[in-house]
Structure 1
Amino acid sequence: MLTNTNDPRVKRTRQLLMQAFMELLEQKRNVTSITVQDITSYATVNRSTFYAHFEDKFAFLESWMREKFLEKLKDELPNAALSDIGSLRTLILIVFDFLFCTRPYMTLADRQYEPLFEVAMQKELYDLLFTWLSEQSEPSVSRETVETAARIASWGIFGSALEWSRHPEYRSAEDMAREVLVVVAAGIAPVIGE
């Protein structure tokens, strides 16, 4: 597997594979029906190139989910970072919207990939929250407490958004996000001293 992800050739090839997958996803409308062979043929690279970049389809899909989510964060969250409760609200809405937009591509046959996508997104959420809480935490708050707060907040945000995305017709994303924000803000308040 290629390890130098900063090499422009590696970046180009990975982008080519990701773009091929996105275009196939638009055509086929579900993840399960797209094979590694489909991706490599569409990207006009051979299978060995795919496997030089990704261990298997699962690793590819995890990377794809992570990249798409980070792209959305970069596009919609100033500096792709949290700075205050307002940016936390924006983050929550981004997660709700991202899951809503990806749900149509998840058929019953694709349920096997849900845990993979969940872990990838939750990990990115955790990293973002941990970085922000570490910067904002009171000096007396331990690293372990910051880690715990970030873990609880990330799973709370993600879990709420995931459940909502399964039945968005019952409540608006705005209403759900508002309630999630209240709970998450209360949970992190002791860490940031509010």
Structure 2
Amino acid sequence: MPVNPNDPRVKRTRRLLLQSFMELVEQRKNIYSISVQDIADRATVNRATFYAHFEDKYAFLECWMREKFQRKLEETLPHASLTDMNSLRTVILTVFRFLARTRQYMVPANVEFEPLFEIAMQKELYRLLFEWLKDRSDASVPRTTVETTALVMSWGILGSAVQWSRSPQNRTAEEMAGEVLAVAAAGLAPVMA
């Protein structure tokens, strides 16, 4: 039976699992070596409870990264939503800084999880961009165009940040965010009211 994500008990259990995982990461630094059993033991729940909330360790890790990224966006973005091009620049800069910081803490054994973490971030970026564009687009713009624009923009922002974080080459996050914003602004023109 699927769990109700709005149930306070479900929220508490998920929070407990995520917190337990963070404690294990701080101890070991190696995500790969942390098992579902380790997380369940630390959270003082059984494996069945873990699997009632998450399909597997990968679904758990995606949720963990998405929540970390959401919290970072909430810290840097007023009202945790986009309102204008300045807030879009803040989001872009946050992505660049978040990836750079995350990369500092990655150990070689964790590299296999990078694509999973990037997808989690892209989903959150897509959600944020889609909500903004849906509210700002002209009524004559088809929903599919808004969805496609949010999809392309989310992958474009994330892809630029991933590439830069792997090899900054004397370009600051601020410089890159400005360049990506210029390209993004042009890409948003067809849907912006």
Please give the residue correspondences for 1:60-71 in structure 2 after superposition, counting only pairs within 5 Å: 60-71=60-71
- The CA deviation string for residues 30-52 of structure 1, in whole angstroms up to 9 with x for no partner, is 21121112212222222222111
Structure 1 residue 112 displacement after superposition: 2.3
Tell me: CA distance 1:79–1:184, structure 2 relative to 1, closer, same or farther (3 Å). Answer: same
Q: Output the TM-score relative to the length of structure 2.
A: 0.93
Q: Structure 1 residues 137, 69: closer, same or farther in 2, change over 3 A?
A: same
Structure 2: any 5+ residue segments left out of the alignment?
none
Number of positions where the alignment pairs a residue of Structure 1 with one of Structure 2: 193
> How far apart are the structure 1 equivalents of 2:35 and 2:162?
26
On the 8 A contact 2:66/2:120 being kept in 1, the answer is yes
Match of 2:170, SS state, is coil
> In the alignment, which residue of structure 2 is the partner of 1:87?
87
Q: How does 1:175-186 map to 2 (within 5 A)?
A: 175-186=175-186
1:184 positional shift:
0.4
CA shift, 1:2, in A, is 4.3
User: Could you say which residue in structure 2 is the equivalent of 1:143?
Assistant: 143
d(CA) in 1 for partners of 2:12, 2:164: 36
Which secondary structure does the structure 1 equivalent of 2:31 belong to? coil
Give the equivalent residue in structure 1 for 2:116. 116
Please, which runs of 5 or more residues in structure 1 have no aligned partner? none
Identity, in percent, stands at 65
Q: Does 1:168 align with 2:129?
A: no
Number of the residue aligned with 2:101? 101
Distance 1:127 1:70 in 2: 11
CA displacement at 1:169 relative to structure 2:
5.4
Q: Per the alignment, in what secondary structure is the counterpart of residue 33 of structure 2?
A: coil
Give the equivalent residue in structure 2 for 1:29.
29
In the alignment, the residues of structure 2 paired with residue 161 and residue 30 of structure 1 have an alpha-carbon distance, to the nearest angstrom, of: 23
Tell me how far apart the structure 2 counterparts of residues 168 and 100 of structure 1 sit (CA, whole Å): 9
Q: How big is each residue's C-alpha offset from its partner over 1:123-161, in whole Å with a ceiling of 9 and x where there is no partner? A: 111111111111111232222221221111111100011
- Per the normalisation by structure 1, the TM-score is 0.93
Distance 1:41 1:153 in 2: 40
3-state SS, counterpart of residue 140 of structure 1: coil
